[in-house]
Copies of this chain bind each other. A is one copy, B any other.
Amino acid sequence: MYDASQQFASDNYSGICPEAWAAMAEANQGHARAYGDDEWTARAADRFRQIFETDCEVFFAFNGTAANSLALASLCQSYHSVICSEAAHVETDECGAPEFFSNGSKLLVAQSPDGKLTTEAVRAIATKRQDIHFPKPRVVTLTQATEVGTVYRPDEVRAIADVCRELGLHLHMDGARFANACAFLGCTPAEMTWKAGVDVLCFGGTKNGMAVGEAIIFFNKALAEDFDYRCKQAGQLASKMRFLSAPWVGLLADDAWLRHARHANHCAQTLAARVADIPGVELMSPVEANGVFLQMPDAALEALQARGWRFYTFIGGSARFMCSWDTDLARVEALADDIRRVMDVEK
C-alpha cells in the first residue's frame, strides 16, 4: 500500500492546488489553438504584467531547470560566466543544465554562508580574472528565496544590481520560491524585481501549487529577442500550452499564489518555533521562507527516518524540512513532537 501522507522532504511532494486544478478543468473545454496562441496563455501573460506593474515579456517553460537555463543562456554566450552562490540550485542540482543550454558557460561560485550573494563577493569574482583565458563574467544569478530558506531584501538586490550595472553584468533571479519570498517580505513583486534592477525572473509555479510549469519574465525586454525560438528549440514549447498557462490564471487570481506561500511559510515558522527549545537542535539559518534547516545529531536524524519521516540530509549532520502550500499543521506538530522524542533519546 502506497503511503501518500505528507512529508517534508520537498515542496515538490505536494500536488496541484484547487485554484490551478479548477483553471485546468475550465481550460479543458473544447479546442484551443496550440503553442501558446490561445486565450489562456494571453490571459496569464497579462496577469503577470498586472502583478508586476510593467510591460514585461512573459514565457512559459516546463520546469525550473529549463527556465533558469534558458534565461541564463539568453544572457550570455558560451565563453561567458555566471556568478552564483555555492548553494545555488543551478550549481548544485541541475546536472549541468546551465552549461548544456549555454553550450559551456561556466558557473563561478561564491561562498555564501546564508545562501546569499553579497556585493563584495560579486565584485571579487567578477574582477578576479580579466584575461581571455578564463570565461568572462556576464551574469549574476540570485535565488529568491535562497536554497537555505533565507530571503534577499529589496535593498540587497538593489545593491547587487548596482554592482552589476557598474561591471557590465546582467542580473537574473531564480524565483523557484519567489512567492514565498514575496509573502515573507510583504513588498510588491515589482519592488523585489525590476524596481531593484532584476533583468529576468524565473517565477516558479510548481512549488506554488501547479502540476508543472514556470514563467520566465523579462523586465529588460531587449534581452527577450527571439526567446520564443530558444524555448521551441530547447524542447520547452508546450503544444497544448493552455494547460501550462491556465493554472497560472488560477493561481494569480485573488492572490491565491500569495495565500499558498504564506501558509507554507507559516508552517515552516511553526516548525521552527516548536523545536526552538529542544537542546541539541540548532537552526542553521533564519526561517524566512518555507524551509527549516536543522542541525541535529546523525543518530537523531536516523531515528526520525525510522519513524517514517522523509527529509533531505547533508554531510555534517543537518536536515532540510520543506513546507508546502498544502502542508497540514497537524503534520508539522507531529514532526515537531517526533523531533523532541528522538532528541530525548539522545540525551
Partner of A99, one of B94, B104, B235: B104
B-facing residues in A284-335 (Cβ within 8 Å)? 310, 324
A166 at the interface (CB under 8 A from B): no
Q: Report if A63-B239 is in contact (Cβ < 8 Å); known contacts: A134-B92, A212-B244.
A: yes
How distant is the Cα of A238 from the Cα of B66 in the complex, in angstroms?
Answer: 10
Indicate if A189 sits at the interface (CB-CB under 8 A). Answer: no
The answer to whether A100 and B103 have CB atoms under 8 Å apart is yes
Query: Which residues of chain A from 70 to 106 have a CB within 8 Å of any chain B CB?
Result: 70, 77-81, 92-97, 99-101, 103-106
Whether the pair B212, A95 counts as a contact (CB closer than 8 A) is: no
A257 contacts B by Cβ under 8 Å:
no
**Candidate in A2, A63, A235 with the most chain B CB atoms within 10 angstroms:** A235
Residue total for A at the interface (Cβ-Cβ under 8 A):
77
Query: Which residues of B sit under 8 angstroms from A39, Cβ to Cβ?
Result: 2
Q: From the candidates B99, B103, B136, name the one contacting A106 in the complex (CB within 8 A).
A: B99
Interface presence of A230 (CB below 8 A): yes
Q: Which residues on the B side are within 8 Å of A28 (C-beta)?
A: 15-16, 21
Contact A135 B95 (CB under 8 A): yes
Whether A10 contacts B34 in the complex (CB less than 8 A), given A95-B232, A235-B69, comes out as yes
Could you tell me if A79 and B15 are in contact, using CB atoms closer than 8 angstroms?
no
CA distance A75 to B10 in the complex (A): 34
Quick one: which of A250-299 are within 8 Å of B by CB?
Answer: none
Q: Of B69, B94, B212, B232, which one neighbours A238 at CB under 8 angstroms? A: B212
Q: Report chain B residues within 8 Å CB of A347.
A: none
Chain B contacts of A67 at CB under 8 A? 235
What are the residues of chain B within 8 A of A310 when measuring CB–CB? 33
Flag if A9 contacts B33 (CB, 8 Å): yes
Cα A43 to Cα B326 with chains together (Å): 25
- A70 to B77 CA separation, bound complex (whole angstroms): 13
Say whether, besides A14-B31, A212-B62, A239-B63, A96 and B69 are in contact (CB < 8 Å): no
Q: Binary interface profile of A, 46-63, with partner B (CB < 8 Å = 1, else 0)?
A: 000000000000000111
Cβ B13 vs Cβ A136 within 8 A: no
**Nearest Cβ in chain B — how far from A264, in angstroms?**
13
- Are the C-beta atoms of A66 and B212 separated by less than 8 Å? no
Residues on B with C-beta less than 8 A from A29 are 4, 15
A236 on interface, CB distance cutoff 8 Å: yes
Q: Would you call A95 and B233 a contact (CB within 8 A)?
A: yes
A300 vs chain B, min Cβ distance (A): 23
A141 at the interface (CB under 8 A from B): no
Partner of A97, one of B15, B30, B34, B233: B233
Per CB-CB distance, the 6 closest pairs between chain A and chain B, nearest first, are A4-B30, A66-B235, A100-B104, A99-B104, A79-B229, A12-B34
Selected A-B contacts with CB under 8 Å, 8 pairs: A10-B34, A33-B310, A61-B235, A63-B237, A65-B232, A78-B230, A97-B234, A100-B234
